[in-house]
């Protein structure tokens, strides 16, 4: 028996390779990933929701600024914001520190295993 689709995960990931990887991984695990290209689209989706999962990468944080993501927490206080960070970015430690300060649920540093990503969404529906 095929299990029903689970809570959608939003992907605001600027790096196409990482986005494709996370999308495929979540879809194979029977989640419903939705690729979103702007923070305002994320806010529209989160309005009125009691929970949600948003994956972001370092490039998105650099492109849009961390201040935008605090608005996600206001729109949906119980949402999980998960940062996917590449050690190639020299400022990744600063990005992680600031992300934790504004309430990100978790940060995953590349290289990461499939199980690490799936653990972030597994018990949250």
Q: In what order do the strands lie in the sheet with 53-57?
A: 32-35, 8-12, 53-57, 80-85, 106-109
Q: What pLDDT is recorded for position 87?
A: 72
Q: Residue 4: what pLDDT? A: 40
For the chain, the first-to-last Cα distance in angstroms comes to 19
Calpha distance 12→34 (Å, rounded) = 9
Of 27, 88, 87, 92, nearest to 11 by C-alpha is: 27
Summarize the confidence of residues 51-77 as an average pLDDT: 86
pLDDT band for position 5 (cuts 50, 70, 90): very low
Which tokens is 63 given? Answer: 């492109």
Percent of the chain whose predicted confidence (pLDDT) is above 70: 90
CATH of 9-122 among 3.40.50.620, 1.10.150.530, 3.40.50.2300, 3.40.50.10470: 3.40.50.2300
Cα–Cα distance measured from residue 76 to residue 3, given in angstroms and rounded to the nearest whole number: 27
- Domain ranges in the chain? 9-122
- pLDDT of 125 reads 52
pLDDT, residue 78, reads 85
CB proximity list for 94: less than 8 A, separation 6 or greater: none
More confident residue, 6 or 105: 105
How far is the C-alpha of 18 from the C-alpha of 5, rounded, in Å? 22
pTM of the model: 0.86
């Amino acid at each position: 028996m095929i299990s029903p689709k689970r809570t959608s995960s939003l992907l605001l990931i600027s790096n196409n390779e990482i986005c494709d990887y996370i999308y495929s991984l979540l879809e194979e695990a029977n989640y419903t990933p939705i690729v979103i290209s702007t923070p305002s689209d994320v806010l529209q989706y989160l309005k009125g929701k009691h929970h949600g999962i948003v994956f972001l990468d370092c490039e998105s944080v650099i492109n849009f600024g961390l201040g935008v993501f605090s608005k996600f927490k206001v729109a949906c206080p119980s949402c999980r914001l998960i940062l996917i960070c590449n050690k190639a970015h020299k400022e990744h430690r600063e990005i992680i520190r600031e992300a934790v300060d504004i309430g990100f649920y978790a940060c995953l540093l590349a290289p990461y295993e499939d199980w690490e990503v799936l653990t972030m969404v597994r018990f949250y529906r």
